[in-house]
Structure 1
Amino acid sequence: MVPIKDKKANTTKSELTSEIGPHSCPSNMEKVKQQQKGKNSAPAQFECVARNVIVMCNSQPIDDVCPEWIERCSQTGSYAPYDMNMPSRLPVERAITNYANDAPLTRIGLILAQLTGRGLLYNGLVPDVIYTSPALRSIQTAIEIRRASRSKAAIRVEPGLFENTNLYPQGAPTFLNAKERLALCAAIDNNYSSAISSKDLFASREQTPDYNRRVGTVLNRIVRKNEFLPVKKDLNYLIVGHPSTVDMAVGQLMRGPTPRMSTEADLAEAYKRVPNCAAVHFQMATNQWIIEEMLPVSFEGCTTALDYNFVMRPPPGAIIRLNFLEENPTKRSQNY
């Protein structure tokens, strides 16, 4: 089972990189207290909570459409796209073999993330806080959504959001290091103190119950972690993970007497039922999460609409409220 850590961030000369800034960990809160003890130039800090939480799947990676791209490019010794959906160049300069099991997004994947981000902007859901899995496809998705939605949030890389590690029997992918992440996007918050380190993530063989506990612990840690801002406001959280992250978020946040746990069969099915950039919008209402509609991006043969019949299967004894279906009965499925 992966240990959850909760320690101080290694902050040195860190400055707030956005309105939200680095994670409100003990070191950052100590800085706030010191500012408040000084001259009256420092603004007051208000504790702000999550009002909307959007949990999203990564966009389309290269290996989804060109599964042998590493082998083909390795034959020539340098990256050369052989499909128009492949990016003209790789996002970070590193050995091409380091992209094995950590592929970047396709051109369509980038566009899909941008359209999704624009949708958040139009619907008043610009992210104030962004968390992402350490997978490159998730980081790139978060970056494009941030850019298209005109968000100013720092991006926090949380290894605890990574997909089930038993999908990687040969070991951990070579994730981007801190320097490579900053080269990819200056908005990456390398001062963030993660719940789980990348090293701990693959420290032991993870079984499905362990994965459920890990994701549940990390998701609840994120949504319950308040931010401290100069102004009082309700916050929009964006969490970019994987198909199983979206499915497990429903099971963990829309809980009855006990969370709805995902089985090994459920996890396999999630990759069929939760497409690229599919998302669930959780909204806090009367101290409980309800689910609001997320408009999909659709074109011929492709959609970001997830299968609500699958992800909304309730745990025993629970009633899941789908607010948008209550307001629009004609959209109700017979399985809800």
Structure 2
Amino acid sequence: MVMALFNDFFRGRKVLITGHTGFKGSWLTLWLHRLGADITGISLLPQTQPNLFSLLNIESLCQHHVCDIRDQPALATLINKVKPEIVFHLAAQPLVRASYREPIETFSTNVMGTANLLEALRSSATVKSVVMVTTDKVYQNQEVERPYQEDDRLGGHDPYSASKAASELIIDCYRNSFLAEQGIALASARAGNVIGGGDWSDDRLIPDAIRAWQNKQPLNIRRPESIRPWQHVLEPLFGYMKLAHDLYHQPELSGAFNFGPETSEAATVRHVISTAQQIYSSGDVIWHDVPEGVHEAGLLTLDTTKSHGMLNIRSLWDLNETLKRTINWYSEHENGTTAQALCEADIAAYEALL
């Protein structure tokens, strides 16, 4: 059981999560609550309707604060009041296509929001380990088959990727200049292409598919041959928790970590949607052979050797299991099963494999 694995590490411990109203943040808050953590959440209000935060009643599982991470004085005041030991930073503008429409908001949130949080942590006497979640898109993408390693060059064609690459530089700066000497272990977690029940964001593959098929409309696929390292949401979340746990006891682990499936599990958008279509048992797709819209990376895979070796973690659900659980989550929810029951069942099934 995960309790035994973490030796009850999170029970009663003060944990701060930024972005707890989002898709991944809601799942993480629910899971840490199961582990007995004393959670404080800082975030904007949910950005979609419906949203997992409301369906899971996350507000009842934590001390919920609406705060914009771009407001440095307000953020610092909250952190000084909460006095957390563990920090998970997930708050972000997380969408590539939205970043083209709103580049300044993307940079201010992802770059200055990250800097504001790190600056607030400088005055903390309680924080011991910090996991800053960025993305697998921080690497300067060369469209090559070799998976990216943590020491590869950072970059970003689109505003979202560039903002996250910039935040990695800020994280490294604060670790070396300030936080390491204060005894605060700081790591960045690079993961992306996360799927699972309860995501209703725009311009994400599975949510777009579910919306289209539930409304009896065809799904338009812009870039069917794009390759990504797809993974169930519980995979990186377990990695973040394991990283926070290990950093607490081994601050020398501070640095960047990739989280993703085995390289062989990377797959094209065409394969993912074709498999999802079979599981859903209906739904039309319109494939566009010529890529449409703004630039997006065509080929992206991650080398997860470091997280495998240093954190001793492996992916537990392959792509087929991930898609089966994700599509079934939405189908069962549409048929009346509560989000609470569905999420608890997925977490319990994942924990049983640990």
Task: Check whether TM > 0.5.
Answer: no
Give the structure-1-normalised TM-score.
Answer: 0.33
Structure with the larger helix share: 2
Flag the structure with more relative contact order, 1 or 2, with Cα contacts below 8 A and sequence separation at least 6.
1
**TM-score, normalising length from structure 2?**
0.32
